[in-house]
Structure 1
Amino acid sequence: MSSFVYSGGLLGNVISLLATAYIAHRTNWEASFYIMGGVCIPWMVLWPLLINDNPRTHKLIRQDELNYLIAALQLAEKKQRLKVPWKSIFLSGQIWTLIITHTSIGWGFYFMLTQLPLYMKMVLQFNLNENGIATSLPFIGMFLFSVFYGRAADYVISKEVLSLTLIRKFSNILATGVAALCCSIVPFTTNKYAVVALMVIATTVLGALYSGLMQSYMDLARNFAGTLIAITNTVATLAGIAVPLFVGWILNQDPSVASWRIVFLVTTGFYLLATIVYGLFITTTELPWNKPIEAPNRDEEGK
């Protein structure tokens, strides 16, 4: 279910990349910014009207949907307001495993999203329309793969073929390991079709992350999953700022294929870091501070 939900963001990338290239080609770059910004306005209005923090309070939910979510998420009858254990969070080795992994993957993802079009223009000599199509293909692959892989992972878990921990680790290693391999090959080939194929493969397999890294938050601390994702995603987003700065710094010194090799190999290193850290240290054991501390019974206090 989460793989299907997360896949919506990937579909958005596909649509925006294709639409931006088309709009810029037919009109100008300014129009693409205005149109994309305008598309967000309906979402901004609908989000607070349609979203609730608990399925029980949603006005449009069907009873069968509610029953399914209660069973799947093990929702309590009455939601307790829990105090966020900030100290325990930042002293947890498991949380730092998630931070390092998420940030390393964030570097690779933002590189493909923001710098791959530049590489295709500068090195592969793609025109605007070709660039839009070529850069959207990896995210089409990731969108489709995330949905099908998520269903397959759920099936394996339900049949207890592999342990939950092994499923999480395998999913992450598949995603980041293959992405690292592809990124290490790209700068050493000049065939534009081979480059596109490698980038499609590298990004497609990242869809397995939605059955790996992105599920670890629920495994470790279901009650604070939103807070944990906010923390790790904030740090990972910093990679989105660092990637263009790093690439610009490298290319300003020497805008050659050799400089692009450095960029791709650094990205490979980050993917390998995510592979190693998550593969060695992640578990699926619930963290002790996730469980709410119940107040002692008054009768028991008097004993």
Structure 2
Amino acid sequence: MYSAPTKQPHPIKNRTSFRDKIPARLVLYFLSWSGFLVSFMMRNDMNIALVAMISNSNATESLNNEHTPKLNLGGASDDQISGIKSWIIGSFFWCYVLSQVVGGIATEALGTKSVFGWSQLATALCSLLMPLAAEVHYAVVIALRSIQGFASGLTWPAMYAIVGYWIPLAERSRFMSSFQGFSIGIGLTYPLCGFIITKFGWPPVFYTTGLLGVSWCLLWYALAFNTPREHPRITKEELNYIELNVGEEVLNSVTMKVPWRQIFLSLPVWAIGITTFGRIFVHYVFITSGPTFMDSILKFKVSTNGIVSGLPFLGSYVSAVLFCYIADKLLLHKIMTLTNVRKVFTALSQVVPGLLIAALGYIDNIGVLLTFWFIAVMLITASYAGAMANIIDLAPNYGHSGAVLAFCQTIHMSASFISPLTVGYIVTDEKSISQWRIIFVISGIIAVVTYIFYQFFATAEIQPWNALRPINNQEDEEAKMVPSEKAEKKYIPKST
């Protein structure tokens, strides 16, 4: 079983080259950011490729159809094609939800480096095999998508588990913005894949995303390490800074069984899971149903639709960095307590977008509507300085944070398929603004109501079940970010 290493001395060098001047934490940020970017490209490539795989669309009309393979539908009738599409898209998310707890357990046993790396590699290999699977039978495509969904579900618990060891409390919100690499992934996938399909057909879409995934895995295995003490190139200065500013209960942690029962009974954990369900529900209305709304109601052309649909997600990364930076500054200057910071940014990510999306169906001016749309999508990222960062506050121990995330993800990622199903059930006529108005209002209500639970029961205090011994209270943890002037400085000064 994997366990966090104890403080055993090992060679730690001072910075002697340009490579050594790059902080190990910055490298981890880049790996996290790029990892989620590539992961979401492999996740969303099917959404646009599937159109070309089944029918002759405008995107592929310039190609020689004789050389453009089609998905083997196994003799399915036209009435069955819609169901097949739903199975192909939905199979990813059903298995994604099922693998969350497995991700927490696997991370505890094997460590983030193995779990995150192997899950990405499995997803990439499935992408490379997708064109062959499509020629065999659509059922094989469903099987590969299921494997991709299960593997991708392991990535979030794995990455959360490593943050408690690597990232000091004062930098934690900022580091969480790296998870927003997925926004860049979503924003880039549609225009890139659309271009590839137009010029070369749909099979190169999967070869491109698959090769990106494999290439990223090589970087990950070369540069990622589970803890600072395992890193062969970290400097003594950075190691001391990290170990002086992460919780003592993290540094002194030993192999221990994840307290699943206590996690299951924890109201603060349930508060995170429930509130983020509301956020994911709204987010997936924008992700999965947004292009349909723009096509059916706003009457945008395909090219315009793709650009307008993707831009808010590209902007989401910038907003995520900004929100997380502000959150860290609020903590650093003791303007707000950690618990209040988490609640304020969670409200910003849900209550405001909830009100904005509820208003969309009543706006006649396209400019105003798109402004509300863009603001809502970008504000949703404030959750990474709120409830999503709150997971590590509750359980910073290696493995425990991954387990808490796995539990919360099981709850809130169910919204990833409940949201599209709800839209499909209510919006039977895609050209009916009254039906879209209903789904927008329902989404807003869900976002606001689920936040209320978080407001009452959320906390940023480290939970007693996080360790097997008494823990410092949260005030001690926050005090580490702004040490007293009289306090003895134990870190090694920066070398000149």
- The answer on 1:283 being equivalent to 2:459 is yes
Structure 1: segments with no counterpart, 5+ residues: 295-303
Partner amino acid, structure 1, of 2:244: A
- The answer on 1:259 being equivalent to 2:435 is yes
Structure 2: segments with no counterpart, 5+ residues: 1-173, 471-496
What displacement does 1:172 show? 0.9
Compare 62-71 and 227-236 and name the one that shifted more.
62-71
What displacement does 1:67 show? 3.0
Partner of 1:301: none
* TM-score under structure 1 length normalisation: 0.87
The structure-2 alpha-carbon separation of the partners of 1:74 and 1:288, relative to structure 1 and needing over 3 Å to count, comes to closer
- Separation (CA, whole Å) in 2 of partners of 1:264 and 1:60: 51
Equivalent residues of 2:357, 2:376 under 8 A apart: yes
**Percent identity for Structure 1 against Structure 2:** 29
Write out aligned runs for 1:195-274 (5 A): 195-223=369-397, 224-252=400-428, 256-274=432-450
Partner of 1:133: 307
Partner of 2:259: 85
- Separation (CA, whole Å) in 2 of partners of 1:81 and 1:163: 31
Partner amino acid, structure 2, of 1:20: C
Equivalent residues of 1:156, 1:162 under 8 A apart: yes
- SS of corresponding position for 1:284: coil
Compare 237-246 and 252-261 and name the one that shifted more.
252-261
The structure-2 alpha-carbon separation of the partners of 1:65 and 1:134, relative to structure 1 and needing over 3 Å to count, comes to farther
Structure with the larger RCO, 1 or 2 (CA within 8 Å, 6+ apart): 1
What displacement does 1:57 show? 0.9
- Separation (CA, whole Å) in 2 of partners of 1:260 and 1:32: 32
- The answer on 1:184 being equivalent to 2:184 is no
- SS of corresponding position for 2:427: helix
Compare 42-51 and 139-148 and name the one that shifted more.
42-51
- Separation (CA, whole Å) in 2 of partners of 1:47 and 1:104: 33
- Number of equivalences: 294
Partner amino acid, structure 2, of 1:257: I
What displacement does 1:26 show? 4.8
The structure-2 alpha-carbon separation of the partners of 1:66 and 1:10, relative to structure 1 and needing over 3 Å to count, comes to farther
What is the root-mean-square deviation in Å for CA atoms of aligned residues? 2.3
- Separation (CA, whole Å) in 2 of partners of 1:13 and 1:44: 19
- The answer on 1:20 being equivalent to 2:204 is no
- Separation (CA, whole Å) in 1 of partners of 2:220 and 2:277: 27
The structure-2 alpha-carbon separation of the partners of 1:27 and 1:276, relative to structure 1 and needing over 3 Å to count, comes to farther
Compare 116-125 and 55-64 and name the one that shifted more.
55-64
Equivalent residues of 2:297, 2:431 under 8 A apart: no
- Return the match for 1:43 from 188, 191, 216: 216
Quick check: which one's helix share is greater? 1
- Return the match for 1:3 from 176, 200, 203: 176
Partner of 1:54: 227
Partner amino acid, structure 1, of 2:255: R
